[in-house]
Structure 1
Amino acid sequence: MKGRTKSRMNQEITLNLDIFAEQFLNIEESLQDIFASRVPLVQDIGRHALLKQGKRLRPLIFVLSCRLCNYGGKDIYALSTIFECIHAASLLHDDVLDNADIRRNRPSANQIWGNQAAVLGGDFLFSKALSLALGAGRIEFLKTLTSSTSKMTEGQILELEHTDNWKLTREQYMEIVRGKTAALISSACECGAIISGVASREREALAGFGLNAGTAFQLIDDLLDYTSSEEVVGKPVGKDLLEGKITLPLIYTLEGFEAGEKNRMVEHFMNGQADAEDRKKLIRAVRTGGAISRVRKEAQGFVDEATACLRLFPDSPTKKHLLQLNGYITKRKF
């Protein structure tokens, strides 16, 4: 960025999430209204999926996008829950697909109530999100939201299609990431612009910010699967590898192997002959072979692209907070 040293920029993007305490409180209060249902089990699953979980990145980034565009409507927090509902619904469905027992250090909904109830609970949250979106009163808001959910589903299907595809390329991986994660975050930003009624230039800039920030977020998520601990991230380390999900840290690690060694390892895993010790060896290779710094550098590139998208907006406290949140992505530990 012109006129600013790199160290100055790094100082500007340091973040204490406590600065968003008021926003988080309002988001939590709005989420309490989501569970209205005549069916007690629906309420139980909804509370389990939504309350006291997650980073609330998606509703927060919607609120900040609205504020950046000077929107002061009273419905801002109710609308923000749309993006958390869709995210939580996708996680309920993901846990069924992955046969997961744990989600964020707690038993998953499918572990408690079974697969059928978990899927239907996710459907309920999706329907709640669409109902809230209709209340926004803008067809472009609904179009953007439904487009992003379609991209999410396509990304998840692509990921499923490429399970145990040890020949997955970086380009194929990025297509999955843009769909399953970045699309909804981009939509949260763009919908903030839409509800504010700003020009298409600002709308496109915020959509680009969300797409790049969301891509970086998923890259770091996939990195943490190899580098963090179960206590911190709330799921077993190496879970992606165990489930046959080939992510960027593994792709870059495999590129560093000699052809013969790589072929033997891939064949071992694809034939189902790999055991826990084999997985540990591969995780160690990811951690020590240079892939970690390479992925982190690539994630930082997307963070920088996201920062560039906000240049057309004048300086303000909200813009600073968005930049700080963007900078937090590559520094987070969970």
Structure 2
Amino acid sequence: MDKTPSSPTAVEVLTNLVADDLKAVNLAIVERMQSPVALIPQLAGHLIAAGGKRLRPMLTLASAQLLNYQGDKHIGLAACVEFIHTATLLHDDVVDESDLRRGQDSANAIWGNKPSVLVGDFLFSRSFELMVQADSLKVMEILSHASSVIAQGEVLQLITANDADTTQEAYLEVIQAKTAQLFAAACHVGGLVAGSTPEEEEALQAYGNNLGIAFQLIDDALDYSAKQAELGKAVGDDFRDGKMTLPVILAVARGDDEEKAFWKRTQEDQEFRDGDLEHALSLLNKHNTLDDTVSRARDYGNQAISVLDIFPDSPAKEALKGIVTFCIERAY
């Protein structure tokens, strides 16, 4: 019996929509990560080739396409966005002492911390070269500001880590800076080079920002999900690192004194005992914090979709709406 062909996923729809531009972006990435210092392309290539979806650069390409852009400046900007993202991943893995990235050994696990940090710096520098080529002060302002905000977000996360009293507001400030800022900038510059109006600029920025927050909320829920194994990540990494993400913040707020003492021992004091992760999961389920985190992500996702209403219907608009749904549905 013939099988009914499955419908393409939202990521496949978006990838197909920008396929030709994405090829050009990938060529630009390979070209720009070359260096006479052999370790640089070797280490950068390891991460770039590790199977990332290129979601952020595709958002730049789709945002330009949403406004029927016919030029080529969005290519370099999409590569720039990917370099910023890759640089932050290299630095993140060093800070988090991560051994895995996308199911493979992380760069720092293979080459060590020093080369990973320095190659991250190299990629940041390359991203600024690509910004300059867009020949737009506004584009440079958006992407350079995004880079500084991301770095501030990393430092802020260090401050809130291992603090069981972290508030939801402080947590949202971290993910706004660490994740949403680059999503917003990726969409914003794609529209900007395509000649967006101030209203369209604002809508694209808001779309990316809300999508980025939703994306990170789902990531933080997934850290306590069995689905992590499918993504090549260990379950409970955030728990072991003492990262105060929304599922835990809600559990602390809803817990009794004994539960609060458990979170203080594990997250603040980093004192772990056998069965602690299982107990943490039971508390998250008891207080329904994973479902509530996904629900919060869905609210942000709905906001992302609604701001696209000002744009006429098009394949690009449908693809951008579809990617929001995809980001939420990763939780299931």
- Mark yes or no: TM-score above 0.5: yes
Give the drift of 1:279.
2.2
CA contact (8 A) 1:82 1:133 kept: yes
Q: After superposition, give the CA deviation of every residue in 1:272-313 in whole Å (9 maximum; x if it has no partner).
A: 432241122102322443111111111010011111211111
Q: After superposition, give the CA deviation of every residue in 1:200-234 in whole Å (9 maximum; x if it has no partner).
A: 11101100111101000000000100113443222
CA contact (8 A) 2:213 2:297 kept: yes
Map of 1:95-174 to 2, 5 A cutoff?
95-174=93-172
Give the drift of 1:21.
3.8
What letter matches 1:219 in structure 2? L
CA contact (8 A) 2:14 2:323 kept: no
Match 2:299 to one of 295, 298, 301: 301
Structure 1: distance between partners of 2:210 and 2:260: 34
Give the drift of 1:73.
1.3
CA contact (8 A) 1:296 1:330 kept: yes
Map of 1:11-90 to 2, 5 A cutoff?
15-22=9-16, 23=18, 26=23, 27-90=25-88
Q: After superposition, give the CA deviation of every residue in 1:226-274 in whole Å (9 maximum; x if it has no partner).
A: 113443222211000101101001111222212x213321342233432
What letter matches 1:237 in structure 2? V
Match 1:264 to one of 258, 261, 264: 261
What letter matches 1:61 in structure 2? L
CA contact (8 A) 1:28 1:51 kept: no
CA contact (8 A) 1:229 1:236 kept: no
**Equivalent in the alignment of 1:186:** 184
What letter matches 1:263 in structure 2? K
Structure 1: distance between partners of 2:165 and 2:80: 36
**Equivalent in the alignment of 2:217:** 219
CA contact (8 A) 2:86 2:120 kept: yes
CA contact (8 A) 2:59 2:187 kept: yes
Give the drift of 1:78.
3.0
Structure 1: distance between partners of 2:76 and 2:169: 37
Let me know the Cα RMSD of the aligned residues: 1.9
Unaligned runs of 5+ in 2: 1-7
**Equivalent in the alignment of 1:210:** 208
What letter matches 1:238 in structure 2? G
SS of residue matched to 1:246: coil
CA contact (8 A) 2:252 2:263 kept: no
Q: After superposition, give the CA deviation of every residue in 1:143-188 in whole Å (9 maximum; x if it has no partner).
A: 0001111111111111001111101111110000100000000000
| More moved, 173-182 vs 266-275 | 266-275
Q: After superposition, give the CA deviation of every residue in 1:37-96 in whole Å (9 maximum; x if it has no partner).
A: 111101101101212332211001110101111212134333211111111100101111
Map of 1:253-292 to 2, 5 A cutoff?
253-258=251-256, 260-269=257-266, 270-292=268-290
Structure 2: distance between partners of 1:86 and 1:262: 39
Structure 1: distance between partners of 2:287 and 2:142: 41
What letter matches 1:71 in structure 2? Y
Aligned identity (percent) is 33
Structure 1: distance between partners of 2:216 and 2:47: 20
What TM-score results when the alignment is normalised by the length of structure 2? Answer: 0.92
Match 1:200 to one of 198, 201, 214: 198
What letter matches 2:38 in structure 1? P
Structure 2: distance between partners of 1:229 and 1:308: 29
